[in-house]
Amino acid sequence: MIDMETAVMELIINAGEARSCAMQALYAARKYQWDQVDILLAESQLAAKRAHATQTELIGFDEGGRQAAGQSDYGARAGPHHERHAGARSGGGTGENLPITGAERGEKPMSVFPKDFLWGAATASYQVEGGFDADGKGLSNWDLFSHLPGTTYQGTNGDVAVDHYHRFREDVALMAELGMQTYRFSISWPRLLPQGRGEVNEAGIQFYSDLIDELLKHNIKPMITLYHWDLPQALQEEFGGWESREIVDAFDEYARLCYQRFGDRVELWSTFNETIVFIGMGYITGAHPPKLTDPKKGIQACHHVFLANARAVKSFREMKINGQIGFVNVLQPNDPISDSPEDRRACELAEGIFTHWLYDPVLKGEYPAELLAMAQQAFGVPYFAPGDEALLKGNIVDFIGLNYYKREMVAHNDDVEGYAINTSGQKGSGRELGFKGLFKLVRNPNGVYTDWDWEVYPQGLTDAIGRIVKRYGNIPIYITENGLGAKDPIVEGEVRDQPRIDYLRDHIQAIGAAIEQGADVRGYYPWSFIDLLSWLNGYQKQYGFVYVDHDNNLARKKKQSFGWYQRVIASHGEQL
C-alpha cells in the first residue's frame, strides 16, 4: 500500500510538471514554435491527468493517513511518470517542483504577497553611473579592462554609461512615477576610496548621500550592494586584488566607511553580488578582469570573498547598524538532461559547485564537505589560516538575495572543456560550458531560449526557491535580480517590450507560488530599472523599464513595460 506522504509528493510533482509544460507551451507559442506547443501541451495534459488520479486516490485515505481498502496501489499507477526522460520536458528530474497557485486553479484573484512585500528594481554602479574619473573618483578594474581590445561587444565601456551620476534626480523621479518602493543599487568602491583604502573622496560620499536622500524623499527604500564587481584598480596593482588576503582588511575598511556615512538612513545591505561571475569569469574562464584562467587562484580568491563577507557582517553588527545585511548570489537551478546515473551525478556536481559552494559559507558558515575535499585534493586550495573557520561560522548573513534568469540542463562530460559566452545576441552563437570529467551544461531540446541563449523557464524560480528553503531553512529571501535581456523594437515612437512583460509576469507568478508554499520572500527587484551597460554585451542587450536614447543626449523614455509594472506595484501583484 502507498502511504499518504508519497501520494502527496507525487501530486505536487505532477501538478508542477503540468504547470511547467503549460508555461513552456505559452512561450513557444509566442515564438511561433507550433511543433513544440503541441508536444508541450500533450505532456501538460498527461501530467495533469496523473495529478488528478493521485488527487482521487488521496480522497481514499483514512484519518490515519492509510490508504483505504479497495484503493488501487499508487506505485504501480505512477510508473509512467518515473519512466519519463527528464530532458524531454522542462521540469527537470529533481522532484522538487511546487504546486500550482490558487489563481491558476481559477480561484478569485487575490494577492499572495505579504503586506510588507517590497516592489522595486535594481542597477549597478559601473553599469549606470558614468563619471568614471569625475570629482576625484579612482579607476576601477573595469575602467581599464573595458578599454582592452576584444574584451567587450564592439568596445563598449562605462565611461559615460547612462550618466546616472549627473542625472540621478531625473532617474529617481521616474522611479517614483513607476511607484517603486525600493531601489537596489551598488556603491563604487573607488569613488569613495580612490586608492582602495586610506584617503576618502568626500565628493563620492556626497553623491551617494544625495542619492539616498532623494530616494527617501520619494519614499523609496534604498538597498545597497557594497561590491558589484568594480574593484579599485589600485588594489589590483598593489597586491593582486582578490588573490591576496590583504583584500579582507581593505574591504572591511570600505564597508565600515559606508556603514558610518550611510547607516543612519539605509536598512538593507548586501556585501557581494554574484561571486560565481566575478570570480568564475575573472579567474576560470578569463572573460572578466583580471582575465586569468587559473582555477587554483580562483578558488583561493573565492575564499577571500567569503572571509571579506564575514568580516563585513561582523563589523555591521559591532557598529550596531539598524538594519539587515545579506549576500547576493546567482540562483541557477540545475536539472539532469536524462535520468541516467551518469547525468544525475553530473547534475549533483553542478548544483554543488554553482549553488552549495557559494551559499553554504554565508548561510552555514562552512563549505560543502565533499567539494572542499575535492578542491583541496585537486588544487591544494582553499588554504585556511588560523581563525578562518571561526570567522565564517560566527557571521552568518541575515538574508539571501537571489538573482534568477535561467535554468541549466546538465549532462555527464567526457569531452567539453571551456566556455564561450554569447555576447552578440545571435542565438546559438555560444557554446557549451564544461569541466571535463565532471559535467557540461547542454541545451534543453524542448526549451525556449532568448537571443543570448538563456532558457526562459519561470518554473525554475519556484523550484530553486524550494531547494534553498529545503537546504537552508526558511531564511528571508529577496529576489534581487530577474529580467529579460532583449533588443526592444521602437514602433511609432513607442518602445514595445511585450516579451519583457510576459517574462516578468510569469516569474512574479512563480514567486507567488513559492510564497504560497511558505517561502519567506520579502521583495522583488527586476533587472533593471533603466537600460544600462551590459558588462560584455554593450547597450544592445536591454533590460530596463526606461529606454535610453544614445543618439539623443541619453534622453529617457518610458517603455510599454513601465505602465504595466506601475499597475503591478499599485495592485500589490494582483493585476498582472
The β-bridge partners of 491 are: 494
Strands 418-420 and 431-435: antiparallel
Q: Single out the residue of 120, 238, 128, 114 nearest to residue 176, CA to CA.
A: 120
Angle at which helices 164-178 and 202-217 pack, to 10 degrees?
Answer: 10
Q: Does 273 show up as a binding residue in the annotation?
A: yes
Cα–chain-centroid distance for residue 480?
Answer: 7
**Is 274 designated active site?**
yes
CA 548 vs CA 157, 389, 425, 480, 495: distances in Å:
15, 47, 19, 22, 10
Radius of gyration (C-alpha) of the chain in whole angstroms: 24
User: Which DSSP helix (H) or strand (E) runs through 5?
Assistant: helix 4-30
Are 185 and 125 spatial neighbours (Cβ–Cβ below 8 Å)?
Answer: yes
267 classed as catalytic:
no
List the beta strands (DSSP E) in 415-483.
418-420, 431-435, 439-442, 477-481
Q: Give me the amino acid identity at 406.
A: K
Kindly write down the DSSP assignment for every residue of 366-413, as one continuous string.
S--HHHHHHHHHHH--PPPPTTHHHHHHT---SEEEEE----EEEE--
What does the alpha-carbon distance between residue 100 and residue 231 come to, in Å, rounded to a whole number?
Answer: 43
Show the DSSP H helices in 291-368 as ranges. Answer: 295-318, 341-351, 357-363
Cα–Cα distance, 98 to 514 (Å, whole number): 7
Question: Is the bond preceding residue 290 a cis peptide, omega within 30 degrees?
Answer: yes
Q: How far apart are CA 20 and CA 47, in angstroms?
A: 10
Q: Which run of H or E residues covers position 556?
A: strand 555-558
Three-state DSSP class for 329? Answer: strand
- Only one residue has cell 579592462, namely 145
Residue 228 annotated as part of some ligand binding site: yes
> Longest C-alpha distance within the chain, in Å?
80
Please report, as a single letter, which amino acid is at residue 158.
G
Q: How many residues does the chain have?
A: 576
Residue 147 assigned to a binding site:
no
In the set 10, 243, 274, 455, the catalytic residue is 274
What residues contact 106, with CB distance under 8 A and at least 6 apart?
none
Distance CA 142, CA 126 (A): 8
**What percent helix, strand, coil does the chain show, rounded to 5?**
45, 15, 40
Q: Is 376 annotated for ligand binding? A: no
Residue 405 marked as a ligand binder:
yes
How far is residue 506's CA from residue 487's CA, in Å, rounded to a whole number?
A: 20
Binding residues, as ranges, are 127, 228, 273, 405, 527
Binding residues for substrate, as ranges, are 127, 228, 273, 405, 527
Active site residues: 274, 481
